[in-house]
Amino acid sequence: MIPNDRLYAKSHEWVKVEGDTATFGITDFAQQQLGDLTYVELPSVGDTFAAGDEFGSVESVKAASELYAPVGGEVVEINESLEDAPEKVNADPYGEGWLVKVKTSGAPEGLLDAAGYQAAIESEGH
Amino acid sequence: MPYVPHTPDEVREMLAVIGAKSVGELFAEIKDEMRPKSFDLPEGRSEMEVLAHMERLAAKNANPEISFLGAGFYDHHIPAAVDALSSRGEFYTAYTPYQPEASQGTLQAIFEYQTAMSRLMGLECANASVYDGGTALYEALMMAVRQTKRRKVVVSESLNPIYRVMLRSYTTNLDLELVTVPHAEGNTNMDGLLAAMDGETAAVLVQNPNFFGSVNDFSALFSAAHEHKAVCVLLTYPVLQSVLKTPGEMGADVAVAEGQSLGLPLSFGGPYLGVMTCTRKMVRQLPGRVAGRTEDSEGRTGYVLTLQAREQHIRRQKATSNICSNQALCALRAIIHLSLLGEEGLRRTALLSMERAHYAAERLAAIPGVKMLTQGSFGNEFAVLLPVNAYEAVSRLLERNVVAGFPLGRYYEGLENGLLVACTEKTSEEQIGLFAEMLRGVLA
């Protein structure tokens, strides 16, 4: 199930906005495609980036993939528990497997809602 | 398939299949002005002629009876078994072991090599090696730059000048600032290094023993560097690591070395072995291959290449290095050599080499006009100041079949009279005595 309470990028990141704080993660579809994660590389608190910038990467036994920011802003918190337990992203991508919290510099643009994302991944041929 | 040139018949046959009339037509695409005018190759010669030619060339080499040349490369004894085992066809012809099902022997050898290097350096991780010590040092610098996302690197001038030239040449087109901290009369300038570091510093690069032979403890320097969140890189001499405080004990994040002294002959400069080790925290920045041990579905031990997500054959643009070829055969020699010596043998090698060097220092310093440049503790190498230009003294001793050492003036302005002298367990007391007397004669 794709949660309805957040927005999605075509590059398979999700963002949940509460006030001016946005939480990023990767979707259940993305974690399934990657397989068992072995490492999550996250930015540092205080780093800033624009929407679409690379903010980190995830490594699985198969490959490493970049993470792209669904909205711009400044990192206020990172999920430090992923350093020792990257498998949390596999187990609970929409919950405990969140990646970073960002103080946003603007409203999200050009993102998909749950239904739109569902359609997007179906059109990817799965 | 035999490795022989094609016969005219074979060439005709191949051209006929392709549909070209001549070899010239086959390469017609390449414009005339882009073709080499001449390869300037001599006519072919018979085997006997070639042998005679090679012997004439080889006879041009000075063949000194005694050598005190070191400067990062050392003439240690290599047990005959190292040659015998490493030249077995299974190892000698093995290619990159990507397929674990066909490469268990090579992978296990690499795994054992990594384990030995990690233990020697007191750090948690090692790769399967890189080209040589200088390449390892450059790769360590780049690990620090990636990790910290900073661009300033503090380099001690008492670090091997040959490697400093390599660093400059590798980084010349990168947006990096190399800050070289001058040596303090042949010693590592700790205060200068401390003063050069700040919050912009990606890494500090030092050597132990330093180029002049001095043994240092960099613990305090490294803890200061860590306060700036800089990465601490230590270049070491692996044989002496069996007796010295390890890089890990000093708090280094990355330790690198030229592995030549572990079972590789000097052979005019290569092939050599770049040793790279680091903390677990830095392992994802470590370039090159890492062999890991695992279990198959039936619980049997197996070896594989691991942590490959940043290897260049997977994501070229994100690779941690574009030169991560390893020196598997040289690494194999190193692990065989270490296995034969054992912990105690390596220690004995180090202690004997140091004893000889200390004896040599005593004998040389007793010559009127000769002064020790290296202060404090030193290992198997030390520097002296002669009353004359060191290059001149070296040339005169070479006429008597003795290589006195490495003249420092070649790389250090103001140290034209400086001579770097190295000993190994192969250096005998008689040789040292002879050298001291000859030098006394030359200087008289």
Cβ contacts below 8 Å, chain A against chain B, sum to 18
Chain B positions in Cβ-Cβ contact with residue A60 (cut-off 8 Å): 309
Interchain pair B315, A39: CB under 8 A: no
For chain A, say whether B315 makes contact (Cβ under 8 Å): yes
Length of chain B: 444
Phi, psi of B249 (to 5 degrees): -65, -30
More confident residue, A43 or B64: A43
Whether the CB-CB separation of B254 and B91 falls below 8 Å is answered with no
The pLDDT-based confidence of B110 (bands split at 50, 70, 90) is: very high
Given this model, what pLDDT does residue B2 score? 59
Q: Which runs of E-coded beta strand occur in B8-48?
A: none
Report whether pLDDT(A74) > 70: yes
Q: What confidence tens digit (pLDDT) does each residue in B161-219 have?
A: 999 999 999 999 999 999 999 999 888 999 999 999 999 999 999 999 999 999 999 99
Under DSSP, the state recorded for B150 is -
Q: Which of A60, A64, A66 sits opposite B310 (nearest CB)?
A: A64
Given this model, what pLDDT does residue A29 score? 94
CA of A4 to nearest chain B CA: how many angstroms apart? 33
Interchain pair B284, A63: CB under 8 A: no
Report whether pLDDT(B1) > 60: no
Best-predicted range by mean pLDDT (A57-66, B15-24, B351-360): B351-360
Average pLDDT, chain B: 93
From B31-45, B194-208, B404-418, the region with the lowest mean pLDDT: B31-45
Given this model, what pLDDT does residue B312 score? 64
For chain B, say whether A64 makes contact (Cβ under 8 Å): yes
Task: State the CB neighbour count (10 A cutoff) for residue B409.
Answer: 15
Q: Which of A39, A60, A66 sits opposite B284 (nearest CB)?
A: A39
Chain A positions in Cβ-Cβ contact with residue B284 (cut-off 8 Å): 39, 41, 59
DSSP secondary structure of B197-232: --TTEEEEEEEES-TTSB----HHHHHHHHHTTPEE
Report whether pLDDT(B3) > 70: no
Interchain pair B318, A63: CB under 8 A: no
The pLDDT-based confidence of B313 (bands split at 50, 70, 90) is: low
CA of A115 to nearest chain B CA: how many angstroms apart? 32
The pLDDT-based confidence of B136 (bands split at 50, 70, 90) is: very high
- Distance separating the N- and C-terminal Cα atoms of chain A: 15
Beta bridge partners of A40: A58
Q: Which two tokens stand for residue B40?
A: 């300037």
Report whether pLDDT(A126) > 60: no
Cα Rg, chain A, nearest whole Å = 13
Longest dimension (CA), chain B: 81
For chain A, say whether B150 makes contact (Cβ under 8 Å): no
Whether the CB-CB separation of B361 and B434 falls below 8 Å is answered with no
Interchain pair A63, B314: CB under 8 A: yes
- For the segment B80-87, the average pLDDT, to the nearest whole number, is 96
**Rounded-to-integer distance, Cα B394 and Cα B165, Å:** 23
Q: What confidence tens digit (pLDDT) does each residue in B292-303 have?
A: 999 989 999 999
- For the segment B238-258, the average pLDDT, to the nearest whole number, is 97
- For the segment B85-108, the average pLDDT, to the nearest whole number, is 87
Closest residue on chain A to B283 (Cα): A39
For chain A, say whether B318 makes contact (Cβ under 8 Å): yes
Best-predicted range by mean pLDDT (A54-58, B23-27, B203-207): B203-207
Given this model, what pLDDT does residue B203 score? 98
Chain A positions in Cβ-Cβ contact with residue B314 (cut-off 8 Å): 63-64
Q: Which amino acid is at B278?
A: C
- Distance separating the N- and C-terminal Cα atoms of chain B: 64
- For the segment B336-359, the average pLDDT, to the nearest whole number, is 97
The pLDDT-based confidence of B92 (bands split at 50, 70, 90) is: confident
- List B residues 284-303 in contact with A (Cβ-Cβ < 8 A): 284
The pLDDT-based confidence of B64 (bands split at 50, 70, 90) is: confident
From A90-94, B268-272, B430-434, the region with the lowest mean pLDDT: B268-272
Whether the CB-CB separation of B194 and B204 falls below 8 Å is answered with no
- What is the β-pairing status of strands B418-422 and B381-385? antiparallel
Question: What pTM, to 2 d.p., does this model score?
Answer: 0.85
- For the segment B44-51, the average pLDDT, to the nearest whole number, is 94
Given this model, what pLDDT does residue B314 score? 66
- For the segment B307-327, the average pLDDT, to the nearest whole number, is 74
Q: Taking each helix axis as running N to C, give the angle between helix B328-365 and helix B429-443, from 0 to 180 degrees, rounded to the nearest 10.
A: 60
Closest residue on chain B to A37 (Cα): B309
Chain B positions in Cβ-Cβ contact with residue A66 (cut-off 8 Å): 318
Report whether pLDDT(B125) > 90: yes
Given this model, what pLDDT does residue B241 score? 95
**Rounded-to-integer distance, Cα B154 and Cα B238, Å:** 23
The pLDDT-based confidence of B324 (bands split at 50, 70, 90) is: confident
